[in-house]
Amino acid sequence: MTDVLRRGRASLAFSFLAQGVAFALLVTRIPAIQDRYGVSDALLPVFLAAVPILAGVGSVATGRLVKRVPPSRVLRWSQPVVLLALLGVGAGEHMAGLAVALAAFGLAVGALDASMNMLGVSLQRSYGRSIMLSFHAAYSLGGIVGASLAWAGAHWELALWVSYLPVVLVLLPAALVGSRWYVDRGGERSPVEEAAAEGGGATAGLKWLLPLCLVMTVAYIGDSTVSNWSAKYLQDVLGSSEQLATVPYNVYMVTTLLGRALGDVSVRRFGAVAVVRAGALVAAAGFAVVAGAPGAWVGMLGFTLLGIGLCVLVPGTFAAAGRRAFESGRPGASDAAVARLNVFNYVGFLIGSPLVGALGDAWSYRGAMLVPMVLVLVTLVYARSFAAQPDRYGGGHERPHTADVGRGSNGL
């Protein structure tokens, strides 16, 4: 059983990494995509907003789909679609082709994100200790790799498809091979459980999920603020050079990776509630430093604090939702909770960038940074939602449970 779980953990971590690479390759080459297809500045926001909206649709659809098929199967086939859609974005010639490729990317990303996190929370439950942050650390590492590859493609002025094709050729077969070892939640459902799932047992009574949905939204508002506005803020508000303005996001990604790599150990030692509270306070301090920074280097310190603080919120929220849903005793409740919660990462992404831009234009960009600071402090109010009942993940020991490997490994 231990070997099964270890292989399942490694294969799932690779899926998180591959997703980080693919997403970074898309979002960091948006100017090149715009130039290739002749997308106007007025039309570009429509294309960009369509991706997270369709991802939300894909996530909701996955929540229904996993009542009938295991999450491993959804992940196995959604990841290749994401990679092929990425290649389609780079290889297309006409705007209609771009729209189709981005639509496929968005829908598949929603299914991929939901199913990955479903498997992550069920694996954590099987391990009996916190491992969720390590999966998101793999995603952060993938984001760094993808952004670096995108920089190389832009530096050498490579065509988009030339940049994307080698990545797809490497990641797609590797992901398919690795999918043989995905580990689903334990056991086949009994006829009684199947009837309960069909009758809405998996999704009923999820009002307790609302605070976690709010935390997820806030976390992604903060994340999108850094990814979309850090360079502009450093250059236009703090007077940095154009080259220096590219540094904060890279620093943010590195500190996110480091924070997540160490986060599981912190959760085991101090508990999820304490880690989430500390993360919210550090993130709020980061926004405060950014808002009041007298110069570029102090501003970069603020963005560094943001990486350390925000990095624990998203994986911690998924873990808390899956754990609390499982404790409710309803069949399939954990998967339903993760699918619903996943929608709110796209909500936060859609809100964050326009919110800061509108406040910056109407008021000031320094003042705009105070709004996500206040929002992230809301997490403190709902930190108790992260508590494990009746037992806290931690203590340095495993409590293995039955894991369903056959349906994930052989159910093609």
pLDDT digits over 279-310, tens only?
999 999 999 999 999 999 999 999 999 999 99
Cross-strand pairs, 184? 404
Instruction: Please tell me what DSSP assigns to residue 182.
Output: -
The two three-digit tokens of residue 11, written as one number = 């294969």
Q: Where do the structural domains in the chain lie, given as residue ranges?
A: 2-410
Model's pTM, two decimal places? 0.87
Confidence (pLDDT) at 247: 85
Confidence (pLDDT) at 383: 94
The owner of tokens 């006409």 is: 94
Helix (H) or strand (E) holding 392: none
The owner of tokens 């369903």 is: 404
Confidence (pLDDT) at 252: 92
Q: Cα(296)–Cα(350) distance, rounded to whole angstroms? A: 27
Cross-strand pairs, 113? none
Confidence (pLDDT) at 400: 43
Confidence (pLDDT) at 187: 36
Q: Which alpha helices (H) appear in 208-363, and where do they start and end?
A: 210-232, 242-245, 247-270, 272-292, 296-310, 313-327, 333-362
Q: 26-38, pLDDT tens digit by residue? A: 988 888 998 999 9
Q: Per residue in 241-265, is it b (16+ CB within 10 Å) or e — as a string?
A: eeebbebbbebbbebbbebbbbbbe
CB 315, CB 260: distance < 8 Å: yes
* CATH-assigned architecture of domain 2-410: Up-down Bundle (1.20)
Q: Cα(53)–Cα(58) distance, rounded to whole angstroms? A: 9
CB 174, CB 13: distance < 8 Å: no
Pick out the chain residues at pLDDT < 70. Answer: 1, 185-205, 331, 389-412
